[in-house]
């Protein structure tokens, strides 16, 4: 008998789950009773300390034996994220044991919210990303958000996603550990390796982003520095999901040093306006990832960051006024890809293409013969349509439709204040940690 009674305490139920074999019918029945029960919210919040950790480990282990597309898996993952955020605890499997050491006295790289150190873990070369946390209040708030995201990242495995090894609190207050990528980021790589196939690298990027979106994960900070090249010359996405932690208004000095710091060149206009009436729009979405991907395409094929001719604070107003980067002269930037780039820059997020469309465009351009063969084969399988002659109608003759207008560049965005308005400018520059010009 695995059902629960109204008198059973949460600790008793956790103990019963721990005594059952994971994935057994009795275990799954009891877990369903807990997760689908009306009182689950009270159940999760009542667990503390070692009991909470025990339930977290049970859920983590149970998810390993479930199909990711099952309703029970999704329900279990949501429950795991929630209780990890509430308790600021992570599954034991996510925490790295002793053996992590940093190398050198200076970080290998620094960003707006973290420092990246080179290190070793049991003799393996690793990258240690240490979040900058200035006080205890920051630590607690960051942990709440951090723990909710980490349990998702840990389950993402794809050739074009940076392998995530685990979390450590031994060397720094809070750090994430991943494989060390000796080839650096994609921007550096295409400069030092002019022979690199840039279209193939962009296909890697789009493939990784498609995987994240299929897993309902928004990257949130897609740009050249966050795309790393592994030893095989393949591009891997890094730092996905961090925007939801570092842009939180209560964490890590988010107003000036969050994931948006230094990322304005890749950000969609709906993320740049601090006074947008719909506050939800100011958070990264799949659509804003698509905008950023188009900027990465320009960055990789052009060999320099988007809007390289402008300072950061100028870029913000250029984007909001409807200005877009110029077309790179690289031959790989075909008319079809350039048209796709512009569709990714649509002012209306709902009208931007899906990641599958962008990936298809890149693959079709990189491998035209394969697509040609596939198209011919597909046509051979489709029977010719039967033509049925119809008698002329006695009604009015239908007029031919007017030709669709040629695609045009997006019009300049209408904003509530003029681009040179000092009030709006100062507020936006303050959001990005920039000092307004006195000129």
**Dist CA 439 CA 402 (whole Å):** 51
Res. 390 pLDDT band, cuts 50 70 90: very low
Most confident of 161-165, 297-301, 378-382: 297-301
Mean pLDDT of 82-101: 91
For 272-308, the pLDDT digits (tens) are 876 655 545 568 899 999 999 999 999 999 999 999 9
Entry pTM: 0.77
Torsion of CA 27, 29, 31, 35, to 10 degrees: 170
Q: Say if residue 368's pLDDT is above 60.
A: yes
For 311-364, the pLDDT digits (tens) are 888 998 899 889 999 999 999 999 999 999 999 999 999 999 999 999 999 999
Structure tokens at 312: 């950061």
CB 247 within 8 A of CB 149: no
């Amino acid at each position: 008998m695995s059902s629960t009674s109204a008198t059973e305490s949460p600790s008793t139920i956790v103990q019963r789950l721990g005594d059952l074999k994971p994935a057994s019918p009795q275990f799954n029945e009891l877990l369903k009773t807990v997760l689908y029960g009306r009182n689950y919210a009270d159940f999760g919040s009542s667990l503390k300390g070692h009991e909470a950790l025990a339930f977290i480990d049970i859920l983590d282990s149970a998810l390993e034996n479930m199909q990711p597309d099952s309703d029970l898996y999704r329900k279990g993952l949501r429950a795991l994220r929630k209780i990890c955020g509430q308790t600021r605890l992570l599954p034991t499997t996510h925490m790295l044991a002793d053996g992590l050491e940093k190398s050198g006295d200076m970080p290998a790289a620094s960003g707006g919210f973290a420092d990246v150190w080179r290190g070793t873990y049991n003799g393996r070369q690793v990258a240690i990303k240490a979040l900058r946390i200035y006080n205890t209040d920051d630590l607690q708030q960051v942990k709440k958000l951090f723990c909710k995201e980490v349990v998702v990242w840990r389950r993402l495995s794809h050739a074009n996603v940076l392998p995530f090894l685990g979390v450590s609190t031994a060397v720094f207050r809070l750090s994430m550990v991943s494989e060390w990528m000796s080839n650096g980021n994609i921007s550096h790589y295409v400069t030092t390796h002019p022979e690199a196939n840039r279209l193939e690298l962009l296909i890697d990027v789009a493939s990784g982003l498609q995987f994240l979106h299929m897993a309902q994960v928004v990257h949130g900070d897609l740009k050249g520095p966050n795309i790393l090249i592994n030893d095989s010359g393949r591009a891997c996405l890094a730092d996905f999901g961090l925007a939801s932690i570092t842009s939180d208004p209560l964490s890590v000095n988010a107003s000036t040093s969050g994931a948006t710091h230094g990322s304005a060149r890749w950000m969609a206009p709906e993320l740049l306006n601090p006074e947008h009436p719909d506050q939800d729009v100011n958070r990264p979405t799949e659509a804003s990832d698509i905008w950023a991907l188009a900027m990465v395409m320009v960055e990789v094929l052009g060999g320099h960051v988007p809007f390289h001719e402008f300072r950061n604070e100028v870029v913000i107003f250029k984007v909001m006024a409807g200005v877009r980067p110029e077309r790179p002269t690289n031959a790989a930037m075909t008319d079809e890809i350039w048209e796709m780039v512009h569709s990714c820059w649509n002012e209306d997020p709902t009208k931007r293409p899906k990641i599958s469309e962008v990936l298809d465009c890149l693959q079709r351009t990189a491998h035209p013969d394969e697509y040609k063969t596939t198209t011919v084969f597909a046509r051979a399988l489709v029977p010719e349509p039967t033509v049925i002659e119809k008698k002329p109608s006695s009604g009015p003759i239908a007029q031919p439709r007017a030709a669709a207008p040629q695609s045009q560049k997006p019009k300049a965005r209408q904003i509530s204040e003029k681009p040179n308005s000092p009030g709006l400018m100062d507020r936006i520059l303050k959001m990005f940690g920039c000092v307004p010009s006195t000129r």
